[in-house]
Structure 1
Amino acid sequence: MDVIKALRDYISKMVKLKSGMKVLLLDEETAGIVSMVYPQSEILQEEVYLFERLDTTNREIMVHLHGFCFLRPTPENLQLLKMELSKPRYGEYYLFFTNTLSKEDLELLAKADQHEVVQEVQEFYGDYYAVNPDTWSLNLSPESSLTVNDPHWPSSRLRISQGLLACLLSLKIRPYIRAQRTSPLAMGIAQDILENLQKQEIRDLLKTRKGPEPILLILDRQSDPVTPLLTQWTYQAMVHELIGIKNDLVVLGKSNVLESSTIVLSPQQDAFYRENMYKNFGDLGIAIKGLVDDYQSKQKTNRDIKTIEDMKRFVSEYPEFRKLSGNVSKHVAIMETLQKQIGERKLLDVSELEQTLACHDGFTEAVKKMEELFGRPELNSNDLLRLLMLFSLRYETHSQYPPANIKFNALLKARGVDDEDIKLVSVLLKYGGYQRRNNEVPIFENKSLISILRKVVDKGLTGVTNVFTQHKPLLAKILDALVKGVLPENAFPFIDGALYKERPFQVIVFYVGGITFEEAALINELNSGFYGNNFTTNFLIGGTSIHNSKSFLDALRFYSKIQ
């Protein structure tokens, strides 16, 4: 199951359908969907000379071009397309929709095609964003799928169901469906998917095949509010947490090693990133230094590179290296930004307590460490707020939690933290506290107390530390139980009433409420290993969005307003 390949195959088939000069007409979403899997430089090789948005009204009339439309079949797009066909700007039109098109919509388009310019209409199920080969997202706003009480939930539910169905169709998978019973959101989506899969036109597209059946497991972010709150230490997850990634784009500040502040960070387009995206921070530094050292050996130069600052200076002073090395300069700039935040925010110290709270049960010890960090004025208030949230999730049922919470609330207020932000602690407990979670699979572990392991990289790169964490997302336990056939059916029922006991060959996980890159890294790790003798389970993860701690807190702010 490779979602990047699935979408690339669609786009490749589309642009190769007709020879000659083409214009690619996209909407707001498909523009992002295409850019993440098919670089513009590659599409240009297929005689695509223009990229336009369908909603751009001042496009030129160029009848010598073939208009290739790749659009979501929304009412807005269909209306724009009818207007386009009534006054065509191009000689011919080839229509490709990212999801199923109703017979009524097809008839309306045929009626609008009075000039008979439409040559082809097809459904190419690319209605989602492929982030990694085994990770995808719908790019919905973080607050779009928190509760059925949200008046916008019906429209979000429709988009989620459409996107999830498109993913199944693009991979040609007809799965058994299981969902988190305690979540009305997950159960509702599961029912929608089941109803869609039972339609005859979908059944015709997804023929039942021999062998172990795939499983679609629909979960709610509410079941694991811990993972989005944690500091991350693998490359892709760190960049999203400390800088932010949207549609494979990362916006950095000004840098003398980069020509642009906006850079592309894509496993499809960047081999170095693809090979190192799951590596620990320290190992990443060594990998980048290795490229610089390799260049020096070839050019017979001998600069002493010991720090990230040394690498940055080298790249700046050797423009020919910047040209030959391709993507290295952008990774040097990213490393510099990450290291700066780690140092300024004392994230090694913060992360140590985060891991203790997530993986070790010791109230008195936790309070003592919290008091120590809350007493350090150099620490970031938002980081302390995240620590209090983790502390509250772990100890909300402890008899001494209320006075401890009051004390830490007061310390945050003394630091100038807004009352609305302090209130997020109680909002979090209402959203994903003990009473709201599915405790059939416990979220917290109680490992022996081992401080977060910091290993200074000993290969000549000063100031870069490897951090090895104990925490594993709740998803790790759920998938382990699923593959072993012991995931509780009362907590995660089969929606269609099936009682499927074989080990699944493929498992698609979907999180209503968003996934994290820590969970994406877990999926990659599982896909690299084996379950049992001579049996491999292939995993894929998708979600309504991809969270970092900032987007998760923003979602909680919205949640507080609609409860």
Structure 2
Amino acid sequence: MNVYHLARSVLDELCAATDGLNVMLVDEDTLPLVSMVYGWRTRQLSDKEVFSVDKLASLREPMPEVNATVFVRASHGNILSLQQELSQPNYRSYAIFFTNEVDATDLELLAEADTRELVAQIKVVNLDYLPMDTNLFSLETLGAFNHPEQLTRNMLSRCRDGLLSVIRGLGLHPTLRYQGNSGQCQQLAEALKPHLLQATEGDTMLLLLDRRQDLVTPSIQQWTYQAMMHELYGLSCGRLDLTRAQAELKEVEEPAVMTSFADEFFGRARFTKFPQNYLSIMELEKVVTKRFFRTPESNYFDFQSHAQERFEKIQTALRERRYEPRDLLRIFMQVAIRYPDKAGCAEYVRLQEAFLNAGLSPLDLQCVDRAAELSRPSAPASSKDWESYILRSTFPNADPDDEEEDSHTPLLAGLLQELDKGSLNEKKYPWVPGLLGQKRYAQILFSRRPLAHLMARFAHLDHAV
């Protein structure tokens, strides 16, 4: 079960749907999907006689001798754009492919607009996700925590439709479990259940998790090659943004493709420690060296020390080193999570002042406080448990050159180990009734954020997002 190969085979089928020269019409969601699958290289599409990829909603010149392949989500806006396109056609024929289910009423609207009978076929292809790796996909959803207790209607439908496209595309019949203390996970589980096969035995288990249960891990700097490339430059939809490096690298012309299926070196090196790889990339060495070792303290402020000693240590580090804003935010996130009860805490107030003096804005502090508050419903309940949680999740002696396993172990790692052993607590992670199976499962893990940093340790899991 390979989500990249599935996406590639579906898109190859789309490109071959009509004979002769083709234009592919996409939307904001499917454009990055097409680009990622073909490695952001237009040559691979031109070899399939697709000479242009345009947005459906854009203005285009009529090409009556060319066929059009439409690949879009079945959103209200796209249906309106298709109606307009079919009523005033720019191409000889249309093959329309939707990423997910489409309402019968929308199909009727398209049929009414197609007065010249130019639509050759309409098909649902169940491809409503981005294949980040062979066993990692993303729905690229933002804003899920704007309403922390419940997902908005649009967010709920996006998560549901994206997961169903993976399940249907791979031909799976999953059972379903979710994080019991998360209202969002329960809401999504209830939305998925009517669409899943009612069976007593399934071949897959889908586990829904709430990312808020561990805010420490995102605030800690990872040392793998993939993570450091993201830290140094930025990775988005399989492209490395070298904008920051242009001052140092005179010949940078466009973002580099960096996916395991388009870059052989990246595929081999992405989960290994960065220092083991960066010397072999000589053109990046100068920029990397300037930035790489600037913020080691952001990983390991020692929370086991006395309060006054801890405060002085952090204050000294902030005074002696010049941090970039995002690194200050990372450090303050670890500090804020350390104080679940901030009201009336003099030490926390002093730390806030220290970070303000170091360069954070009042809005930055408010955002971090808000993020820490959002984590509380899914965090350990008692102060003692919370203290233990932080001490387990923060490592005081990180060494980027150490070839041993990182001493930081995300909470998610323990959950996955329990899941693989079949010992995951059924009260904390209940089954959805009616979909309960009786055998060992392949696993699909769904969280609010991509989990790429864990995939090296849990390569036996089939899929994660």
TM-score (norm 1): 0.74
CA contact (8 A) 1:454 1:467 kept: no
CA contact (8 A) 1:134 1:539 kept: yes
SS in structure 1 of the partner of residue 296 of structure 2: helix
Aligned with residue 341 of structure 1, among 284, 291, 296: 291
Other-structure match for 1:119: 120
SS in structure 1 of the partner of residue 287 of structure 2: helix
Distance 1:432 1:503 in 2: 32
Other-structure match for 2:412: 475
Other-structure match for 1:193: 192
Q: Which amino acid aligns with 1:65?
A: V
Residue 340 of structure 2 corresponds to residue 350 of structure 1? no
Per-residue CA deviations over 1:123-168 (Å, capped at 9, x if unaligned) read 1111111111121112223x23442568x82211111111111121
Distance 1:467 1:336 in 2: 26
CA contact (8 A) 1:216 1:509 kept: yes
Distance 2:331 2:464 in 1: 27
Aligned with residue 428 of structure 1, among 371, 375, 380: 371
Residue 277 of structure 2 corresponds to residue 280 of structure 1? no
* Cα distance change, pair 349–195 in 1 and its aligned pair in 2 (3 A): same
Distance 1:438 1:23 in 2: 54
Other-structure match for 1:308: none
CA contact (8 A) 2:96 2:122 kept: yes
CA contact (8 A) 1:281 1:467 kept: no
Other-structure match for 2:220: 230
Q: Which runs of 5+ in 2 are unaligned?
A: none
Other-structure match for 1:526: 458
CA contact (8 A) 1:178 1:216 kept: yes
Residue 440 of structure 2 corresponds to residue 508 of structure 1? no
Residue 464 of structure 2 corresponds to residue 541 of structure 1? yes
Distance 1:23 1:172 in 2: 30
Q: Which aligned pairs between 1:104-503 and structure 2 lie closer than 5 A?
A: 104-141=105-142, 143-148=143-148, 153-197=152-196, 213-253=203-243, 254=246, 255-256=248-249, 258-288=251-281, 311=282, 332-333=283-284, 335-343=285-293, 346-353=294-301, 356-357=302-303, 361-364=304-307, 366-367=310-311, 369-380=313-324, 382-396=326-340, 402-433=345-376, 435-437=377-379, 443-444=389-390, 446=392, 451-455=397-401, 469-496=406-433, 500=437, 502-503=439-440
Kindly, what percent of the aligned residue pairs are identical? 26
Residue 64 of structure 2 corresponds to residue 63 of structure 1? yes
Distance 2:323 2:71 in 1: 48
Distance 1:12 1:352 in 2: 47
Other-structure match for 2:22: 22
Distance 1:425 1:61 in 2: 51
Distance 2:454 2:329 in 1: 26
Structural RMSD (CA): 2.9
CA apart distance, 1:184:
1.3
Per-residue CA deviations over 1:239-275 (Å, capped at 9, x if unaligned) read 2233222222232232445341422222222111111
SS in structure 2 of the partner of residue 79 of structure 1: helix
CA apart distance, 1:368:
5.2
Q: How many residue pairs align between the two structures?
A: 455
Q: Which aligned pairs between 1:78-89 and structure 2 lie closer than 5 A?
A: 78-89=79-90
Distance 2:367 2:27 in 1: 36
* Cα distance change, pair 511–446 in 1 and its aligned pair in 2 (3 A): closer
SS in structure 2 of the partner of residue 373 of structure 1: helix
Distance 2:463 2:389 in 1: 21
CA apart distance, 1:510:
0.9
CA contact (8 A) 2:223 2:400 kept: no
Distance 2:45 2:274 in 1: 34
SS in structure 1 of the partner of residue 330 of structure 2: helix
* Cα distance change, pair 50–245 in 1 and its aligned pair in 2 (3 A): same
Distance 1:27 1:428 in 2: 32
CA apart distance, 1:379:
3.6
Distance 1:431 1:18 in 2: 50
Other-structure match for 2:101: 100
* Cα distance change, pair 347–261 in 1 and its aligned pair in 2 (3 A): farther
SS in structure 1 of the partner of residue 61 of structure 2: coil
CA apart distance, 1:386:
2.6
Q: Which runs of 5+ in 1 are unaligned?
A: 289-310, 312-331, 457-465, 528-536, 543-563
Aligned with residue 44 of structure 1, among 29, 43, 46: 46
SS in structure 1 of the partner of residue 65 of structure 2: strand
* Cα distance change, pair 501–363 in 1 and its aligned pair in 2 (3 A): farther
* Cα distance change, pair 428–406 in 1 and its aligned pair in 2 (3 A): same
